[in-house]
Structure 1
């Protein structure tokens, strides 16, 4: 069974956490939601607050050795808050150093830039952060999924099926019926 760690906080784009979580779980993966504090985190659903999800572990209780991949949902608020947290950035760097897949969608590639992982890499992201990604040294493309080594990036909620499929392929998982 593949184990995927999601890191998120209040303001995550609801579809970008819940849809990949549901697809991965249905395909047999074990998903853990980690955040800055225990309790619940609130999603953002397009133009207003959406549903909440329960946090399984705090970042301090997570060890990358326990996971096969990292998934970073977007939303504007979520990655903007998380990129200011050294624990998050250290964890992103540790997943990269271990060569484990890191899947980041929408605004979440900001975390890859903050972790200094983009120099010479090809990525995509939400249009408003593409200049930031380029300034961090990335070759930025406009397509539903960009895969460069262990980095898997996508642009927006409409890309979720291809995004999740790319992560599953990196983990050698079968698509669920």
Structure 2
């Protein structure tokens, strides 16, 4: 999904998205997963657009899981749905992204990954697998997620 049909990734890889954000029917999806990105490559340009923020709000309004990795917690917070809730984000470079998250009314968690009801946030790219397994737990069960975790070699 994207705001425009053709997207160039951080590393210069161009892709054509299969659906525009404005065409997403929240009822057709079980969850929303948002990867982080690099500011210098335009992550926030699209992450803070109204279409993105409205999509985040739409998933929260129907209480579907929203999973994020690293700085993807920031557009979730910018959407307003994290105000007064606990979350985390990128922790390096003096914690300036954590300060930004707090300025949006978020209670900062100190864990690598924070789960507040239906929202998963994490502190860095290294946590991507943990976020994925937590999302899988929300969508299935702890036992099923553990079975997948073990089959993939994670203990």
**How far did residue 136 of structure 1 move?**
1.6
Matched, 1:90 2:32: no
Any idea what the Cα deviations from partners look like across 1:25-49, whole Å, max 9, x if unmatched?
xxxxxxxxx001123x3333xxxx2
**How far did residue 113 of structure 1 move?**
1.7
The answer on whether the counterparts of 1:102 and 1:151 sit within 8 Å (CA) in structure 2 is yes
Q: Which residue of 1 aligns with 2:109?
A: 141
**How far did residue 88 of structure 1 move?**
1.1
Matched, 1:161 2:129: yes
Could you tell me how far apart the structure 1 residues matched to 2:5 and 2:47 are?
A: 19
Matched, 1:74 2:36: yes
Runs of at least 5 residues in structure 2 that lack an aligned partner in the other structure:
none
Runs of at least 5 residues in structure 1 that lack an aligned partner in the other structure:
1-33
Q: Which residue of 2 aligns with 1:56?
A: 18
**How far did residue 107 of structure 1 move?**
1.1
**If the length of structure 2 is used for normalisation, what is the TM-score?**
0.81
* Secondary structure in 2 matching 1:71: strand
Greater Cα radius of gyration, structure 1 or 2: 2
Which has a greater percent of strand? 1
**If the length of structure 1 is used for normalisation, what is the TM-score?**
0.71
Tell me how large the CA RMSD over aligned residues is: 1.8
Could you tell me how far apart the structure 2 residues matched to 1:111 and 1:35 are?
A: 14
**How far did residue 153 of structure 1 move?**
0.4
List structure 1 segments (4+ residues) > 2 angstroms apart after TM superposition.
Answer: 41-44, 50-54, 76-79, 173-177
Higher relative contact order (CA 8 A, sep 6+): 1
Of residues 46, 64, 68 in structure 2, which corresponds to 1:100? 64
Comparing 74-83 with 96-105, greater Cα deviation is found at 74-83
Which has a greater percent of helix? 2
Q: How many residues align?
A: 139
Could you tell me how far apart the structure 1 residues matched to 2:26 and 2:130 are?
A: 25
The answer on whether the counterparts of 2:48 and 2:75 sit within 8 Å (CA) in structure 1 is no
Could you tell me how far apart the structure 2 residues matched to 1:54 and 1:156 are?
A: 27
Could you tell me how far apart the structure 2 residues matched to 1:51 and 1:145 are?
A: 29
